[in-house]
Amino acid sequence: MQTPYENEPCLNVSVFQFTLELTVLAIGAYRSALEYIRLDLQSRAAYSDLTQLRYVKCLLFLA
């Protein structure tokens, strides 16, 4: 049984493009967060375990 949209190539391309754009945005956000964390950690000589835990939670949320 076919759905009414299976024969619509435009819809399939649109869904693929939307998914691709979301993936690119998610990867960009993850890389930006990693860069921010790297720069922040470089600016501190020593950081607490609480700060490390906060960064780990942030990365897990983004993943």
Asked whether residue 39 is domain-assigned, the answer is yes
Domain contains 1? no
Identify whether 34 is part of a domain. Answer: yes
pLDDT value for 39:
78
Higher pLDDT, 14 or 4: 14
Range of the domain at 54: 9-62
| Within a domain: 50 | yes
Based on the structure, what is the number of domains in the chain?
1
Structural domain contains residue 4: no
Instruction: Tell me, yes or no, whether 3 lies in a domain.
Output: no
Residue 42 within a domain: yes
Residue 2 within a domain: no
> Which residue type sits at 30?
Y
Q: How confident is the model at residue 58 (pLDDT cuts 50, 70, 90)?
A: confident
Segment 15-26, tens digit of pLDDT:
788 888 999 998
pTM of structure? 0.51
Token pair 């990867």: residue: 27
